[in-house]
Amino acid sequence: MFINVRKYFGIVADFLGEGRLKSVAHKTVVINMNVMDFLKNNVRPATGCTEPVAVAYATSLAYGILSGAVQAQEQGISFTGEYLVPQGERVESILIKTDRDVFKNALAVSIPGTNGQKGMLIASAMGLYCDPSQGLNLFSGVTSETVAKANQLLQQNKVGIDKVTDADSKATLDIEVTLRYIPNGHPQEVYVRLREDHDRVEEIRLDGQTRYKALPLEKSATRSQQFPTSLEEMLDVVRNLTGEERKEVYRGIQMNLDIADAGSKNVYGLGHGASLQKLLEEGVLSDNLITRVRIAAACAGDARMGGANISVMSTAGSGNQGITALIPVAITGEYFHKPIDTICEAAMLSHLVTKYTALQSGHLSALCGCAIKAGVGAAAGVTYLLGGNLEQINAAINIMSANITGMICDGAKEGCALKLSTAAGTATESALMALSGVRVPTDNGIIYQHSEDTLKGIGKISASMVSTDLTVVELMQNKC
């Protein structure tokens, strides 16, 4: 199955490389959105699960401040390119403190390049030896030597995690790393805080003195641009993508197909994709679109959650969301031989709907983001890909929302491949159902006539599930 998919997209890659992709001049649209800025800020490569990677990034920044590789000033943060490898014996301690949801997602997930080691302790220790200028992709160049040095710090009990006490009513991504290091006989302490986004630095302090303090989020330049507030506006954006924008969207499609391909050829994590493939070969599962989508998503999830040292294209702050958002669109496009222009537009719509849902629900919560946020995005994208109109896309989102909204998040781990597979298959099925005329009545539960209102309601549900979130974290902490 994956050989055919890679061949198809390999041909597309050559086509894109020659620069012959259709370029549409921007028309007067309802919303003035900078698509490339959106992709830069919301659709980014990441190697490994995003939460432990973010902890590693904070640790890397902290050492970068001491070594001179990172310059933190009032006007911003810059990288000098003069990265110096730290000396483990000079590390006095690394202390990590996170919100409940980062803790939940970073506790039991495999870290790339470690042969199955899990959690943010090893991730943070590895971050000390990684180049901070690589951002959330800093694990892409991890070597066995890096892992060995990190493990020496763990064996010396130099890395610790504060107990989670976060019980706020609104889930907010929050990572604090305090590094104590002895560069020249005198201990120095660097405090780095990431907040609201995985790579958004809120504060840096050196020996108690503030070196950098971010502007309030609502005043930051990356949040000042307009974002679509309706499906009509989103469709307006995707129909007017330029050739350059389509190429950037395509890059994410290919990246996530690559990790699915890797997961189909090697057994990672839970091996869910391999199990589904075996059932297909035995004739227990039939070879159809839904099966292909489920297997591809499962293989990608196995590889990513199983510690494959392969980058994935994330969306709205999550690599698993990127898998759900893009894999159904890519596999459906191959299955029906859709033009690459249309596939890129559908993928962009998936990104936009996923982001819209994330804005309602927050980055992390008790609800499974890869299933719900990216699931509704994929349902919208696949419907568009197959020629669906506004009303049918609206219906697909509502069908998806009526189906698996109750799926909880119990952290990132091998088992996420199960949820990715379920979400990707259900999203594709929701699109097909919407195109065939199925509609969820508006007197059903949380479903509203306009899917935007449905998604706002899901955001309210997410915000009300604090006790569920805390219970999940308590159960997980009891096992530590």
Report DSSP letters for 356-404, one per residue: HHHHHH-SS-SB-TTTTHHHHHHHHHHHHHTT--HHHHHHHHHHHHHHH
184: exposed, middle or buried (Cβ count in 10 Å: 0-12, 13-18, 19+): exposed
Give me 338's structure tokens.
Answer: 């859709």
**CA-to-CA distance for 449 and 455, rounded, in angstroms?**
11
pLDDT, residue 8, reads 47
Give me 447's structure tokens.
Answer: 């479903």
Contact in structure between 384 and 349 (CB atoms under 8 Å): yes
Contact in structure between 402 and 445 (CB atoms under 8 Å): yes
203: exposed, middle or buried (Cβ count in 10 Å: 0-12, 13-18, 19+): middle
pLDDT, residue 144, reads 93
Band of residue 402 on the pLDDT scale cut at 50, 70, 90? very high
- On the question of pLDDT at 19 being above 70, the answer is no
**What domains can you pick out in the chain, each with its CATH number?**
2-30+227-478 (1.10.4100.10), 50-220 (no CATH)
pLDDT, residue 25, reads 42
- On the question of pLDDT at 28 being above 50, the answer is no
Give me 360's structure tokens.
Answer: 């309602």
Contact in structure between 121 and 154 (CB atoms under 8 Å): yes
63: exposed, middle or buried (Cβ count in 10 Å: 0-12, 13-18, 19+): buried
- On the question of pLDDT at 16 being above 80, the answer is no
**CA-to-CA distance for 58 and 379, rounded, in angstroms?**
35
pLDDT, residue 218, reads 56
With a pLDDT cut of 70, the percent of the chain lying above it is 91
Give me 300's structure tokens.
Answer: 């990608």
Q: How far is CA 63 from CA 136, 150, 362, in A?
A: 16, 14, 30
Q: What value, to the nearest 5°, has the Cα angle with vertex 444 and ends 438 and 446?
A: 110
> pLDDT digits over 113-127, tens only?
898 899 999 999 999
Q: How far is CA 105 from CA 135, 143, 177, 235, 439, in A?
A: 19, 24, 17, 33, 35
Band of residue 10 on the pLDDT scale cut at 50, 70, 90? low
pTM for the whole structure: 0.86
What's the average model confidence in pLDDT over 119-141? Answer: 92
- On the question of pLDDT at 222 being above 60, the answer is no
Give me 87's structure tokens.
Answer: 């000396």
**CA-to-CA distance for 426 and 202, rounded, in angstroms?**
38
Binning the chain into helix, strand and coil, the percentages to the nearest 5 are 55, 10, 35
Longest dimension (CA), the chain: 73
Contact in structure between 357 and 403 (CB atoms under 8 Å): no
Lowest mean pLDDT among 64-73, 158-167, 231-240: 158-167
- On the question of pLDDT at 351 being above 50, the answer is yes
User: Which residue type occupies 87?
Assistant: Q
Q: How far is CA 149 from CA 85, 128, 159, 176, in A?
A: 11, 10, 13, 22
**CA-to-CA distance for 241 and 231, rounded, in angstroms?**
16
Indicate the length of the chain as a whole number.
480
Question: What are residue 315's DSSP bridge partners?
Answer: 318
Three-state secondary structure call for residue 15: helix
130: exposed, middle or buried (Cβ count in 10 Å: 0-12, 13-18, 19+): buried
Give me 241's structure tokens.
Answer: 């993508």
Contact in structure between 58 and 177 (CB atoms under 8 Å): yes
